[in-house]
Structure 1
Amino acid sequence: MANNQITAVTELDRSHYKTKVYAGGHFIYSDEPEEVGGTDEGMTPGALLLASLGSCTAITIRMYADRKGINLDSIKIDLAICKEEEMSKETTITRKIELKGDFSDDVHQRLMQIADKCPIHRLLSNPIKIETS
């Protein structure tokens, strides 16, 4: 793959659903709950998707606030999506952003606008093509 790509490798052996995920020298597990045959030792794929959006949003807001010298103490983002078996092209992700710090309402509004500029938000807001080989 080209050097300018973000890459990840997933591996699943006979461990049912506990999947090893490698990216950028880091390692995590993805899994399914015990009630569907998993070991519940990692986030579900849907939770990983929400985690990607939430962390990207928080990082984007933090980068902007730091560059602009905004007194932003903390960012909390609550995300939700329907069950994976109910997902379709009409699926909606809800995202509630809580910002704490000493700043005006105008700055708060600007930070909320910046949230939509995170790369994962932009990616998920457009049609995605997946090529499988």
Structure 2
Amino acid sequence: MSKKQITAVVELDQSRFKTKIFADGHLIYADEPKELGGTDEGMSPGALLLASLGSCTAITVRMYADRKQIPLEGITINLKICAEDEMNKGTVIERKIELKGNLDDEQYKRLMFIADKCPIHKILTNPIEIISVS
């Protein structure tokens, strides 16, 4: 995992909800579905949250498996969360992790334990303080 500070720039112009997100030389879009007035040209903020957790989990497990030479062939992670308008401090994210490969019980249990060590999982399961500055 990188030790440098993570930054992002988010821009929203007259495009209603289609939002440009720039980070480390990459561009992605966030948007809302058409039924909410968006153009549906990007993931919703809630989907981006799940994508962050899922990709961080997969990368963390892969790094550990590679370092320990565990025969992990693939990872599939399915995530679910409630509708964004229902989110609050009691929100639950359901994460189903499927590990592929010739893993024994000990390797499987260890990789599932390591899944909870990804940085995004850690931040989502601890109090977060967001400070708006001008």
Structure 2 matches for 1:12-27, cutoff 5 A?
Answer: 12-27=12-27
TM-score, with length taken from structure 1: 0.97
Q: Which runs of 4+ in 1 moved over 6 A?
A: none
Structure 2 matches for 1:1-133, cutoff 5 A?
Answer: 4-133=4-133
Cα distance, 1:52 vs. partner?
Answer: 0.2
Cα distance, 1:106 vs. partner?
Answer: 1.1
TM-score, with length taken from structure 2: 0.96
CA-atom RMSD in angstroms: 1.0
User: How many residues were matched structurally?
Assistant: 131
> Aligned equivalents of 1:74 and 1:60: distance in 2?
13
Cα distance, 1:12 vs. partner?
Answer: 0.3
Stretches of structure 1 that go unaligned for 5 or more consecutive residues are none
Stretches of structure 2 that go unaligned for 5 or more consecutive residues are none
Identity %: 67
* Partner SS, residue 130 of structure 1: coil
Cα distance, 1:4 vs. partner?
Answer: 3.6
